[in-house]
Amino acid sequence: MTNRTAHHPAFTFLRSEFIDALNVTVQEFEHTVTGAKHFHIASDNDENVFLVGLKTIPTDSCGVAHILEHTVLCGSERFPVRDPFFMMIRRSLNTFMNAFTSSDWTAYPFASKNKKDFNNLLDVYLDAVFFSRLDELDFSQEGHRLEFAEPDNVESDLTFKGVVFNEMKGAMSSTTSVLWQTLTKYLFPNNTYHFNSGGEPADIPDLSYQDLLAFYRTHYHPSNAVFMTFGDIPAETLQAEFEAKVLSRFERLDTQVSVPNAKRYFSPVRVEEGYAAEEVKEDGSHVVVGWLLGESTDLNQQFEAQLLSSVLLDNSASPLLRVLENSDLGRAPSPLCGLEDSNKEMSFMCGLEGVKREDAEKVEKLVLSTLEEIAEKGVPQESVDAMLHQLELSQREIGGGGYPYGLQLILAGLSTAVHSGDVIAQLDLDPVIEAMREKVQDKAYIPNLIKTLLLSNSHRITLTLSPDDALEARRSQAETDRLSQIKAGLSDAEKQQIVKRSADLKARQSQIDDMSILPKVGLEDVPARLPEYEREEVAGDLPVTFYPQGTNGLVYQQLVIDLPELTEEEISYLPLFSSMMTELGVGEADYLTVQERQAQVCGGLGASNSIRATIKDRQALNGYFILSTKALVPNVKAMSELLKDTILNVRFDEVNRVKELVAQRRARREQSITGQGHSLAMTAASSALSGLAAQQEQWSGMTGIRSAIALDDAMKEDDKAVNDVLALFKGMHAKLLKAKKQLLLVAEPQHEASIVSDVQAILADLPVGAEDTKFALKPVDSRVNLAWLTSTQVSFCSKAFRTVSGDHDDVAALTVLGGFLRNGFLHRVIREQGGAYGGGASFDGSTGSFRFYSYRDPRLTETLADFDASIEWMLTETHTEEALEEAVLGVIGSMDKPGSPAGEAQGDFYVQLHGRSLAYREAFRAKILAVSIDQLQQVAKTYLTKENENVAVVTSTSKREELEALGFDIQAL
């Protein structure tokens, strides 16, 4: 349906369309003078989202777009304070606030449920993006600068500093990031994707301040911008703000920023490069085959590529993934397997990791011969139909998690908008899916796609990335030599200029800005009550809790089982057991048949555990095993049959499958270290504080990663290790079947009666259990001073202090204290002055620990000292009520952050299941709002003491001597 909609006179209305599958209306406008586009997704959702995106096209790897993204947020014309972005985080009830640099665009999004807050943030974001101050000192802080190791001593060594410089040192410590950047360097020989838009650490110091200004002038202009909004604020109202605050001051830009298409190869290319590794393992190589495809703005080409990628790689029954998973040439499929469709031109890639270097050509041959065989034999029609079903399901699902739903929709259309494609068509996939249903009836359709997109496509790269244990040393030496050369060429005046700039920057970082010029919300704007969710409880042998929610035609189903008493060995394998439960065969069917069945009837099947300390005792636990799935309403019966079959008849006899899954799990865990190093450090630091904290380290911490490696190695030795684990799993499964069970259902209210009736009938013969569970962990209360060494160019530091938990009166103050320390002290000294990408503190109520952390940090000893200094600052300085209010707002904002309709219902169910009633949560909220500065100082004095301190770091092997001198217990994977 297309009709004209209300708009501001400065804009031209282009079109409007209601998208039934999403229950939104997408409206497209263009600013008459500048040509800026505005896409508004009109919805009755009160969580309003704003994003301005700009096409940013770097022509080198100096990181100009990334550094500019950071520097733009450091003060603007109307808000000339040093750090309005982080200041607004503290003065806001935002549900999301960030900025992103992609390979060809930069975006500035935020979201809020509070209209006053939304308008405040809109003011700040519009001014920041289009009227940024771009102070040279901010460029030095956020990008790069030279400093002497001893800032006042010109005889000391020179060093490079800068937030983005260290962020990218951390990012490029990830082998997966190196793999991606190396592959795209060769896939795109002549355009912007050839370069690392985030910045290569070796190249970032080449960027000058003048280069930054020139890039801003040509790229940060409304003619190169797209405004995207979502929610219940009318487009006309938003456009009035855009016009008044920004657009009325600009004319149309003559030059257009664009991405040229890549030059095509006439024959395939094979290349080899290295990645930094602690040791050179014989089977340590990655081999990836990549193809350059058509343009992502062509929706038919994009959808064909998505369908082909899904058919080939969606699950273990998919023909290409099945071959990769079963190949003896490598340990696991490459993390890059799949389609990349966010660039102007798409790429498809697949391969293996854990490969012997000399087997690279064999991997390439395996991929090509498999594709030839699939093209020759075709793909079963039910497999193709299942992939179309998955695409329809993902189209309808209202997401949740880290991003607001509106932002997810905006990001789905952003790349298309930036490259002048059809955003409405990109969001309204139903017509494309229907057209595709017709096309796939032709048995030759998928084979022809394989031939045209892949086998006959000469623009193909085969990349071998092999471990190099000397690469990091060479890279460090090159940086040292470069700095020595720079220092040798400095005049006395230039040396003094470096000293002066360091002093000027430190003074700027320490200055107290007049924050009153920034808009804010206050505690008076905080909603008085938490939302109360309607729920229906249906008694029976298998109790059912039903939440009526607007789920857009989906049904969410979870079988919740009380965790029974388990042995220590069984507990150690609980996450592995859960991850495998839905990846194995069921009854007479092998795992491949089950994977196909899952794809045909539901949006996947998953198992997880929900374990939490009780309110009264952090050493006592409530634990639940959860089997989860979701489906469109017509598939409820089939979904329930699948769930029942899985819990009753899962097979623990597929030895090779288990070995594959363990190898894949090991690969994922090893790759995760540099991306979540701060979490790993905090988990390690907290591990001595309770039984649950200790077990979390064994499950998901560095100890858990080491265990995953050891298990994979043991299973490669012989099948005894596999059979031992399978025997253990059979015992755990038998205990689960005897335990108490209940069911959680979330769906639209009009479907309640039929869904509950159908599901109860199907699950009627489940053994429901009668015994109370006795799941428990041994209490732990000790100390750690631990350092984990790995392949990284930066550090992740943490300190954890033993505190209290549950309903103790001090918990509210401890919760607020984390934000107070971050806002007032840690952000400045760790990020701005220390150069880390991030740092802060938080209270973890589940383990009763208060934790400091730093992320992608060039320092180690100094950061640990800064954690201590923040405590001293808290205890000895005079603090303002305004700073307290900001910290409280931050806590309330995180507590009130909305999720998807299904996610909010599930969250409500589990907090109540774990004994946190609405009354309890509202009482806690009231305590948060009543916290005083005296309370903050009291809890800091009481708990943040040396007697309660535990320390852990994840860092480079080059730090071994420093760590030994500090008395750390040093561990390595």
**Cβ pair 751, 547 in contact under 8 A:** no
Nearest to 840 by CA among 822, 865, 859, 816: 822
**Cβ neighbour number for residue 52 with a 10 Å cutoff:** 25
Q: Where are the extended beta strands (E) located within 210-284?
A: 225-231, 269-276
CA distance linking residue 470 with residue 280, whole number of Å: 9
The pLDDT, as a whole number, for residue 2 is 38
Structural domain 11-257+495-517, CATH architecture: 2-Layer Sandwich (3.30)
Structure tokens at 387: 């992939």
Structure tokens at 630: 């979701």
The CATH class of 785-972 is: alpha beta
CA distance linking residue 864 with residue 830, whole number of Å: 10
Task: Tell me which DSSP letter residue 827 carries.
Answer: I
* CATH classification code of 269-402+415-468: 3.30.830.10
Three-class SS state of 293:
strand
Structure tokens at 643: 């769930």
What fold is seen in the domain 536-762?
Cytochrome Bc1 Complex; Chain A, domain 1 (3.30.830)
Do β-strands 460-468 and 269-276 pair in parallel, antiparallel, or remain unpaired? parallel
Q: Say whether 69 is catalytic.
A: yes
CA distance linking residue 492 with residue 485, whole number of Å: 15
CA distance linking residue 159 with residue 830, whole number of Å: 17
CA distance linking residue 138 with residue 106, whole number of Å: 19
End-to-end Cα distance, the chain = 59
Residue type, 422: D
**Cβ pair 870, 847 in contact under 8 A:** no
Structure tokens at 962: 């420093």
CA distance linking residue 811 with residue 925, whole number of Å: 11
Do β-strands 785-790 and 969-972 pair in parallel, antiparallel, or remain unpaired? parallel
**Cβ pair 290, 367 in contact under 8 A:** no
Complete DSSP assignment for 20-37: TTTTEEEEEEEETTT--E
Nearest to 292 by CA among 415, 183, 413, 176: 183
Do β-strands 796-802 and 345-355 pair in parallel, antiparallel, or remain unpaired? unpaired
Quick one: how many helices (H) and strands (E) in the chain?
35, 28
11-257+495-517 and 785-972, same CATH topology: yes
Nearest to 448 by CA among 348, 378, 381, 385: 378
Nearest to 945 by CA among 734, 843, 800, 836: 800
Nearest to 227 by CA among 41, 492, 435: 41
Structure tokens at 430: 């139903």
Owner of token pair 């997880």: 608
Burial of residue 413, with CB atoms counted within 10 A of its CB: 0-12 exposed, 13-18 middle, 19 or more buried: buried
Structure tokens at 308: 């082909």
Q: Where do the H-state alpha helices sit in 687-768? A: 691-700, 702-717, 720-738, 752-762
Owner of token pair 């263009």: 30
**Every domain of the chain and the residues it spans:** 11-257+495-517, 269-402+415-468, 536-762, 785-972
The pLDDT, as a whole number, for residue 400 is 61
Structure tokens at 927: 């305590």
| Nearest-10 Cα torsion for 405, 409, 415, 417 | -130
Where b means 16+ CB within 10 Å and e means fewer, 882-893 reads: ebbbbbbbbbbb
Catalytic residue among 17, 28, 30, 69: 69
CA distance linking residue 943 with residue 809, whole number of Å: 13
The pLDDT, as a whole number, for residue 513 is 85
Residues of the chain with pLDDT under 70: 1-4, 400-401, 770-773
CA distance linking residue 23 with residue 41, whole number of Å: 10
**Cβ neighbour number for residue 822 with a 10 Å cutoff:** 26
CA distance linking residue 646 with residue 29, whole number of Å: 50
**Sign (positive or negative) of CA dihedral 161, 162, 167, 168:** negative
Predicted TM-score (pTM) of this structure: 0.92
